[in-house]
Amino acid sequence: MSSYDDGTGMWGGAGRDAGRLSLLELVRNGALDIAMASTLWLLVEKKASLVVAAGPRLAGKTTALTAIMDFAPPSYARVYTRGVEEDFSFLEETRPSDAYLMVPELSDHTPAYLWGGAAHRLFEILDEVYSVAATIHADSPGEVTAMLTGDPVGLTGDLLAKLDAVVNLGMVEDYHRITRRLSLISVLDPAASGYVSLARWDPDSDSFSHNETAEAIPALAARVRLSPAEVSADLAHRSEILSAWMSQGYVTADVVQRMVAEHYEGSSLG
C-alpha cells in the first residue's frame, strides 16, 4: 500500500471511524431517506465522480462523504490526496480502474486542500476509470459549477462534465437545535445543459421528494452506464437491501462496512 492509502491528515488516519455516523444512522436520524441512500450507493458502486457541497461550516460534508464512501466496493482503493504537496505521483503507484481519488476539500482554505492548478489537473485525469470524491463549500450545483469554471481552477465544459453528481447538504438553526439534512442530489445531464435533481429536501415540511419526471432516471442512467429500466429495478432492489439491514438494529459505521463487504464477497466487484 502506498502512502496515498492511509487516510492521514484531514481524514483522521486509522481512527477516522471512531464515533462517526454511518449512512444508515443518518437515515435513521432523518438526514436522508432510504431511496436517497440507494441512489448514493449506486453512484459509488459505479465509480461516479461526486462532490458533497454545503455553504455553511459544520454542515457535515466530511461526515456525509465518508458515510457514502462506506458503500463503495471493498476492491476500490482510496487514494487520499495531499493538498499543496500533491505531485500526482499516485498516477504511477495506483491502478485507475480500482481507485477513488479522495479530496478533503476543493478550496484554498488550508494547505491540505486542492485548488487552482492542482484542482484543474485533478479533473484532467478523471475518466471512466479514475473517479473523485470530494467536498466543496457551495450552496447549489450552479455554485459548484461557477467555482470550478471560474478562476483559478478554470475548468472547461468537457472537464466539468467528468463530475457526475453533486450532493448538497442543508442546515437549519433555531433556538433549540441544529437540523442537518441531505438537501439535494443532482446529476449532470449535458443534454439539459446543467444538473438534473433526483431528490430534494423541503425544509418547511422536513420531508423528502423524488423527481419522477421523464428526465431524472435517464440522466442518472447515463452517469452510471445503465439503461433507465435497469436503474429503476436496481434502486428498488437496493432499497430492499438497505431496509433489511436497518431492521437488524445496529447500523454503526463498522457494522455497515462489514455488511457491505459481505454483500460484495464473491462478486466481480468484491
pLDDT per position as a tens digit, 148-166: 999 999 999 999 999 999 9
Residue 127: exposed, middle, or buried by beta-carbon count in 10 A (0-12, 13-18, 19+)? exposed
What pLDDT, on a 0 to 100 scale, did the predictor assign at position 12?
A: 43
pLDDT at 11 exceeding the cut of 70: no
Q: Which residues contact 237 (CB under 8 A, 6 or more apart)?
A: none
pLDDT at 176 exceeding the cut of 90: no
How high is the mean pLDDT of the chain? 89
What pLDDT, on a 0 to 100 scale, did the predictor assign at position 97?
A: 84
pLDDT band at 172 (very low <50, low <70, confident <90, very high): confident
- pTM reported for the whole predicted model: 0.92
pLDDT at 8 exceeding the cut of 50: no
pLDDT in tens, 15-25: 445 578 999 99
pLDDT in tens, 29-61: 999 999 999 999 999 999 999 999 998 787 889
* Least confident interval from 64-68, 131-135, 169-173, 197-201: 169-173
For domain 3-264, the CATH superfamily is P-loop containing nucleotide triphosphate hydrolases (3.40.50.300)
Q: Are 53 and 239 in contact (CB under 8 A)?
A: no
pLDDT at 192 exceeding the cut of 70: no
Residue 128: exposed, middle, or buried by beta-carbon count in 10 A (0-12, 13-18, 19+)? exposed
**223 or 6, which is more confident?**
223
pLDDT band at 216 (very low <50, low <70, confident <90, very high): very high
What pLDDT, on a 0 to 100 scale, did the predictor assign at position 269?
A: 57
Indicate the pairing of strand 207-210 with strand 194-202: antiparallel
Buried-state track 194-233, b at ≥16 Cβ within 10 A, e below 16: ebbbbbbbeeeeeebeebeeeebbebbbbbbebeeeebee
pLDDT at 14 exceeding the cut of 70: no
pLDDT at 257 exceeding the cut of 60: yes
pLDDT band at 10 (very low <50, low <70, confident <90, very high): very low
What region, left, alpha or beta, does residue 19 occupy, with left being phi > 0 and alpha being psi -120 to 50 degrees? Answer: left
Average confidence (pLDDT) over 177-196: 87
What pLDDT, on a 0 to 100 scale, did the predictor assign at position 266?
A: 64
Query: In sequence order, what are the beta bridge partners of 181?
Result: 170
pLDDT at 115 exceeding the cut of 70: yes
pLDDT in tens, 79-89: 999 999 999 99
pLDDT band at 129 (very low <50, low <70, confident <90, very high): confident
Q: Where are the domains of the chain?
A: 3-264
pLDDT at 138 exceeding the cut of 80: yes
What pLDDT, on a 0 to 100 scale, did the predictor assign at position 18?
A: 55
What pLDDT, on a 0 to 100 scale, did the predictor assign at position 23?
A: 97
Average confidence (pLDDT) over 220-234: 96
